[in-house]
Chains A and B, each alone.
Chain A
Amino acid sequence: MAKEEKNEDNGVSRREFLNKAKLLAGSVAGGMAMANLAAAGTISDKNKAKEIQIPGSTVKVPEPVYEVFNTDVLILGGGFAAVSAAMEAFGQGANLMMVDKGPFGFSGGFGMNWDNYVTSITDGDIAYKFNFWYSEGLCNQKALKAVFNHMPNHRIMVDIANRGTSAFGRTKNGQLFKVPMPGQEMVEHGFSRHESDEIKRQGINVVERTMITNLFMQDGRCIGAMGIYLPTGAFRVFRAKAVILATGPCTWHYGWISVSPVSLGSPDNTGDLDAIALKNGARITGCEFFANDLISIYPEGLAASYNGGIGADDINYAYICDKNGDFWMKDIPKPEMNRGLFAREVAKKILEGKGSPNGGVYIDCRTNAVLDGLRDTYKRNVKPYKELFGIDVQKDLLEVAVEWYESNAHPIIDENLATDIPGVFCPVGGGLRGAKSGGIALNMSASSLAAIKAVKYAEDNKINKIGWQPVNNEFARVYEILNRKVKNPVRPHAVRHAIQKAAYKALGPIRDAASLESSIKEIVRIKKEDLPRMNVSNKTKIFNTEWKEAIENYNMIDMVEAMCRAALMRTETRGQHYRSDFKKRDNENWLCNITVKLLNGKMKLDKEPIVCLDYTPDQVKKFIDNKFAL
């Protein structure tokens, strides 16, 4: 039982805390001052009733008060994609603003200050072909080509160096350490902190700790976005002429251990804007594809954490073994390895009954050669694992599981990186990856192109009138979630874990119709029975993490449903989508994308033909059935 000791002194003086409280007021006011610079002013809609009645509910929500911001190009997100878009738009002289759910520079995958592997292009034509081949034919050729044409020789490492990284990995004699790839080369030791520092140095306007909960739509066009300032619960409206969606992958969806899903991703990665785009009429695609590493799952508190764990991937895989100590992958030549094959190999082992007790396999780090060859991020965990957690990888095999680090589910885009919603661009949009996994480099090149397109759109498309009804509706929706009183309440984290469990059961490295159907059934049940009685137990507006969780759940559940439905529909194996009941790639029926659309609250799935430019579908089939050759 909890024991309360309100106002107890306990060594910390009351005065000290009052001082802190004052400081807080100061800092929040500071944030507002920054906001007001760009704001059209805080408005209270006086024509509306004092309270908004939620249809079909007795919940009363307060009279809406909005903090209104105004910009031309609105960038949603504060990760790799968002900062690249912001730097490009800023360089074009655009009036822009970024909105980040987390503390900027510390949020999303981007906010983890790890040793990034970054890829630069050496030959744009070969890199384009390779990316297309790797997508197993599903990429939108026009969109992918547009990105490579935009930056045919994108030396990302030079950009990154100019933003502050000084010491990429070196060989023993001081040469730059490069990993060659077709048309590309990869270097290590990019650190993302420099990117956020650069945004601050340039003076780009970032509105942080603000969670976007909906797009601002008018007559079918997007004219901004809205959401909650988490530290105070204030409702913010962002007006804009063009919007860029860069809110990262859907990775917090996949299972639940004790503090995280089976993902190295961030709790910020709840796929909000993908779900929001879907709800606003956009088609999303790529839902059945994801990307993975193999990462240790014990101690539970560090499970699946790339930075807190030890693991392996499609670049370093020789030390992966099954339960009988068979290093079955080590003979696969590096040029033939890719994430899809990697995931499928693990899946096969597990199906053969040679996996580990928790549905993974093992890594063997007992030799110095393996230890020395580990990525620095993993290597730095070896000592603390032993000293803090009593796990000695030099003595014992380590169990590792397939986690999710990226998802491909995003709004479908065209060669202008424009989504189905006029005014909304998506640099990581569905169509750029196909069955291939995403990563920093392509995100950055595409974001720069998306920014150029968005800046142009903002110049060409004025907004003539503005109606506040969608804002009032959204305000009512999110405040209803906070103030809701229900008979048989269930807390948001419990609903979330049910969603995550359903995703984990069906969307793992091995998929089949039965588990997908059963998870879809469970998702439909959660939507019907659990979401309406989801109850935020503490009604505070100040950094209410439960309220945030509850709002995110509405997004997460739609994305998991879309992922399960698309995975069920694709009755073949391609990329990391491995169907144990359809083990072969089937180009006759499945050289196409699957799109998901919401129609009257129901998901409608369609086959979407691939968009061709350089290769006809027949040429694509031949091309991808062969090994990659120049």
Chain B
Amino acid sequence: MNVKILKYDPSTDSAPYYKTYNVPWKKNITVLEVLVYIHENHEAIAFDYSCRGRVCGRCAMMLDGEPMMACYTPVKKDGDIVIEPLKGFPVIRDFIVDKSKILERIAKIEARVRSKPLVESDITAVMDPALAKKIGDLEWCCRCLSCVAACPVINEMKDPEKFIGPAGLVALGLRYYDPFDEADRIIEAVQNGLYACIMCGNCNNVCPAAEINHLEVYSELRKEAEKKGLKT
């Protein structure tokens, strides 16, 4: 197959450029295998990965214009494909992008707010298994930020101050469900652009974690916001 990739080395190139390589197709070949093939058989390229199982988020990039996890996405047939770095992030080199702007904010959001530390009896107390599952499902967000790359709103606005984007809202949802968190996550969600979201569901379609139902999280946050009269 012909694989066209977008390359960029800021120390030598004035702008990113495309280059095409021939790669032998095999059944169930993953996009990551394609990149390793190019790196080893054509020329050195910069890309990053770790878990090969959609939990570290490091291999998120674009295949034919759509965000996906290179490690977990098979190339279905022996045709031509285009691979580019994850859209919307500054490129360090080739497929290595800098996601720190949004990641730092998500990390701060997802840190629990609480006045006193938990003690053992808080944890061993019975928890509704349905609630445990609801929280547990959101834990699978690996912060690959494919959802951010696919989000039409954040791509238009380009200002995480106004809209944190899908991964940030999921983090807010997790803490909203967390019975041990004491912050008002609804106000925080509204501040972070809960109503900027147009509920298009692109985030859900590209998310590698099937457990996460983005629209359900946003709807529940909105319902609560409306109860509090916070709808903007």
Which residues of A are interface residues toward B (Cβ below 8 A)?
A: 1-8, 10, 12, 14, 17-18, 20-21, 23-28, 30, 102-103, 105-108, 111-115, 155, 157-158, 161-162, 164-176, 189, 191, 193-194, 196-198, 200-201, 231, 258-260, 266-268, 298-303, 305-309, 380-381, 383-384, 388-390, 491, 493-494, 536-538, 540-546
Partner of B132, one of A1, A170, A200: A170
Q: Could you tell me the distance in whole angstroms from the C-beta of B122 to the nearest C-beta in chain A?
A: 7
Would you mind naming 21 contact pairs between A and B with Cβ atoms under 8 Å apart? A17-B8, A20-B89, A103-B48, A103-B99, A106-B143, A112-B53, A155-B120, A157-B123, A158-B123, A161-B123, A162-B118, A165-B139, A166-B112, A200-B107, A200-B108, A266-B56, A305-B71, A307-B53, A384-B72, A384-B210, A491-B44
Partner of B107, one of A111, A155, A201: A201
A93 shortest CB reach to chain B, Å = 19
Over the window 17-41 of chain B, the binary record of Cβ atoms lying under 8 Å from chain A Cβ atoms (1 yes, 0 no) is: 1111110000011101100100110
CB–CB A493/B107 < 8 A? no
Q: Is the CB of A198 within 8 A of B30?
A: no
Do B111 and A197 have beta carbons less than 8 Å apart?
A: yes
B178 within 8 A of A: yes
Q: Are A200 and B111 in contact (CB under 8 A)?
A: yes
Residues of B within 8 A of A (CB): 6, 8-22, 28-30, 32-33, 36, 39-40, 42-58, 71-74, 84, 89-94, 96, 98-101, 103-104, 107-108, 110-112, 117-120, 122-124, 126-129, 131-133, 135-136, 139-143, 174, 177-181, 210-211
Contact (Cβ within 8 A) B32 A4: no
Contact A5/B20 with A18-B15, A106-B56, A305-B52 known, Cβ cut-off 8 Å: yes
Q: Which one of B50, B110, B210 lies within 8 Å of A112 (CB-CB)?
A: B50
Query: Are B124 and A176 neighbours in the complex by a CB distance under 8 Å?
Result: yes
CB distance from B215 to the nearest CB of A (A): 20
Using Cβ atoms and an 8 Å threshold, which residues of chain A touch B100? Answer: 27, 30
- Give min CB distance, B107 to chain A, whole Å: 5
Residues in chain B near residue A307, CB distance under 8 A: 51-55
Residue pair B44, A388 in contact (C-beta under 8 Å): no
Minimal beta-carbon separation of A603 from chain B (angstroms): 30
Q: Which 7 A-B pairs have the closest CB atoms?
A: A307-B53, A308-B53, A301-B30, A23-B90, A305-B52, A167-B135, A201-B111
**A308 in contact with B92 given A174-B129, A200-B104, A302-B30 (CB within 8 Å):** no
Q: Evaluate whether A7 and B120 lie within 8 angstroms (CB atoms) in the complex, with A2-B19, A258-B33, A542-B92 already known.
A: no
Q: Are A158 and B120 in contact (CB under 8 A)?
A: yes
B44 pairs with A167, CB closer than 8 A: no
The main secondary structure of chain B at its interface with chain A is: loop
Give bound CA distance, A21 to B180, whole Å. Answer: 42
In the complex with contacts A172-B129, A174-B132, A540-B93, A308-B118 CB distance below 8 A: no
With contacts A24-B98, A166-B180, A537-B43 taken as known, whether A543 is within 8 angstroms of B127 at the C-beta atoms is no
With the chains together, A553 CA to B181 CA distance in Å?
46
What B residues does A114 contact at CB under 8 A?
A: 51, 53, 55
Provide the bound-state CA to CA distance between A303 and B72, in Å.
Answer: 11
Cβ of A308 and Cβ of B52 under 8 Å apart?
A: yes
The chain B residue with its CB closest to the CB of A26 is: B90
B53 near A24: Cβ-Cβ < 8 Å: no
Pick from B46, B72, B104, B127: contact of A308, CB below 8 A: B72
Chain A residues near B104: list those with CB within 8 A.
200
The answer to whether B101 touches A27 (Cβ under 8 A) is yes
Contact A380 B44, beta carbon cutoff 8 Å: no
Cβ A5 vs Cβ B51 within 8 A: no
Q: Identify the interface centre among B19, B45, B51: most chain A CB within 10 Å of its CB.
A: B51
Indicate if the CB atoms of B22 and A1 lie closer than 8 Å: yes
Which one, A17, A111, A171, A259, contacts B129 given CB within 8 A?
A171
Contacts of B180 in A (CB 8 A): 161, 166
User: Which residue of the partner chain B has the closest CB to A391?
Assistant: B28
The answer to whether A106 touches B58 (Cβ under 8 A) is yes
CA distance A238 to B16 in the complex (A): 34
Q: Output the residue of B118, B122, B132 with the most chain A CB within 10 A.
A: B132
The residues of B that contact A175 with a CB separation of less than 8 Å are 126
Closest A residue, CB atoms, query B121: A158
Task: Give the residues in chain B near A103, CB-CB below 8 Å.
Answer: 48, 58, 99
B contact residues around A162 at 8 Å (CB): 117-118
Q: Is the CB of B129 within 8 A of A166?
A: no
Bound-state CA distance A155–B45 (Å) is: 45
Complex contact B10–A24 (CB within 8 A) = yes
Q: Beyond A103-B58, A308-B51, A389-B28: 20 further Cβ-contacts under 8 Å?
A: A5-B19, A10-B18, A20-B90, A21-B91, A103-B48, A113-B55, A114-B53, A193-B141, A193-B143, A194-B110, A200-B108, A231-B92, A259-B52, A259-B71, A305-B52, A305-B53, A383-B210, A388-B73, A543-B93, A544-B46
Check if A301 sits within 8 Å of B50, measured CB to CB: no
What are the residues of chain A within 8 A of B124 when measuring CB–CB?
Answer: 176
Q: In the assembled complex, which residues on chain B have CB atoms less than 8 Å from the CB atom of A542?
A: 9-11, 46, 92-93
Q: How far is the CB of A40 from chain B (nearest CB, A)?
A: 25
Nearest CB on A from B172, distance (A): 13
A contact residues around B28 at 8 Å (CB): 298-301, 389-390
Give, as a whole number of angstroms, the nearest-CB distance from A444 to chain B.
Answer: 17
Assuming the contacts A12-B16, A106-B58, A301-B30, asked whether A27 and B50 have C-beta atoms less than 8 A apart, the reply is no
Question: For A231, what are the chain B residues with a Cβ–Cβ distance below 8 Å?
Answer: 92-93, 96
Q: Which residues from chain B contact A301 at a C-beta distance below 8 Å?
A: 28-30, 32-33, 52, 71, 74
Whether the pair B112, A164 counts as a contact (CB closer than 8 A) is yes
Q: What are the residues of chain A within 8 A of B133 when measuring CB–CB?
A: 167
B22 in contact with A7 (CB, 8 Å): no
Q: Known interface pairs A167-B136, A172-B129, A538-B43. Does A158 touch B119 (Cβ–Cβ under 8 Å)? A: yes
A309 to chain B, nearest CB (A): 7
Q: Which chain A residue lies CB-closest to B137?
A: A167
Report the minimum CB–CB distance from A6 to chain B (whole Å). 4
CB distance from B173 to the nearest CB of A (A): 12
Residues of B within 8 A of A174 (CB): 126-129, 132
Q: Which listed residue (B16, B56, B90, B179) contacts A113, Cβ 8 A?
A: B56
Measured CB to CB, the closest approach of chain B to A356, in angstroms, equals 18
Q: A231-B92, A542-B10 are in contact. Are A167 and B122 (CB under 8 A)?
A: no
Contacts of A536 in B (CB 8 A): 44
| Cα distance, A23 to B93, chains bound together (Å) | 13
Which residues on the A side are within 8 Å of B179 (C-beta)? Answer: 166
Q: Is the CB of B9 within 8 A of A540?
A: yes
CA distance A366 to B51 in the complex (A): 26
Interface residue from A4, A5, A164, A268 paired with B110 (Cβ < 8 Å): A164
